[in-house]
Amino acid sequence: MNSNTASSRPSNAATFADLPQPAALLFDLDGTLVDTVQRRIEAWLEALAGAGVVVDRDRVGAYIGSDGRRLARELGHAAGVELDYAATEELDRVSGDLFDDLNRSPVPLPGATELLTALEKSHLTFAIATSSRPGQVAVSVSSLRLPSPPPITDGSRVANAKPEPDLLLESAAQLGLPPERCWYVGDSTWDMVASVRANMVAIGVTTGAVDAESLSAAGATVVVASLTELLVELRRRGAVS
């Protein structure tokens, strides 16, 4: 988990007070709601090494949250290994299988379960929008122990995952809401880029592999250290109890 806090955000960044009231909150999963980023990194390091692609942990961490095929292609290129579509598709599958083996007992990140439970009892709508494949989502979502199953839009629903906006737009459409009325909460630069492209308010949280400065540079409107800060703000607005 990243130790950087929201206090390192640029001095010219917006604050919650500058933001309109949301109609819905959409959430990334890995590194935002559940502490799984390091297991994602381990899975990718092993999968890439098996294909002759040797990269360091920090470089992989910077790509967590993006489309898996893109991750494989670009990290392969950086390591001098050119991978075609079939190879990147296979690496994405292999890394997912390795992640499943590692992700036996995921732990919710601070404030995640409390926030989503409060949203479920409020007038606000929420959903999870994750690039992960369907089979990789269930265990992590189950660990949140929510009162009822949340709406989920996973990577199988769109042709292009983050940083393209398709996933976020599909999630908003499933909720029946225009994207500009949604806040998207994520821990990676790819989350922030996708949110901006989708015309959503981008909320960065420094619980993944990326610091506050990088999230802001990628388009985050507000950066927080944990979801507890977001819950406090929604309570201040009277949006949740």
Domain with 79, as residue range(s), is 37-102
Tokens of 157: 């629903």
If one counts the domains in the chain, the total is 2
Nearest to 140 by CA among 184, 187, 102: 102
Domain membership of residue 213 (yes or no) is yes
SS3 of 14-67 = CCHHHCCCCCEEEECCECCCECCHHHHHHHHHHHHHHCCCCCCHHHHHHHCCCC
Point out which residues pair with 125 in neighbouring strands.
24
Say if residue 75 is in the same domain as residue 182.
Answer: no
Q: What is the pLDDT of residue 156?
A: 87
Q: Are residues 74 and 10 in the same domain?
A: no
Q: Are 22 and 183 in contact (CB under 8 A)?
A: yes
In this structure, what CATH number is given to the domain that contains residue 80? Answer: 1.10.150.240
Pick the last residue of a domain from 79, 102, 125: 102
Please confirm whether the linkage preceding 163 is cis (ω < 30° from 0): yes
The residue from 80, 102, 124 where one domain ends is: 102
Q: What is the pTM of this model?
A: 0.91
225 and 179 in a common domain: yes
Which tens digit of pLDDT belongs to each residue from 105-150?
A: 999 999 999 999 999 999 999 999 998 888 789 999 999 999 999 9
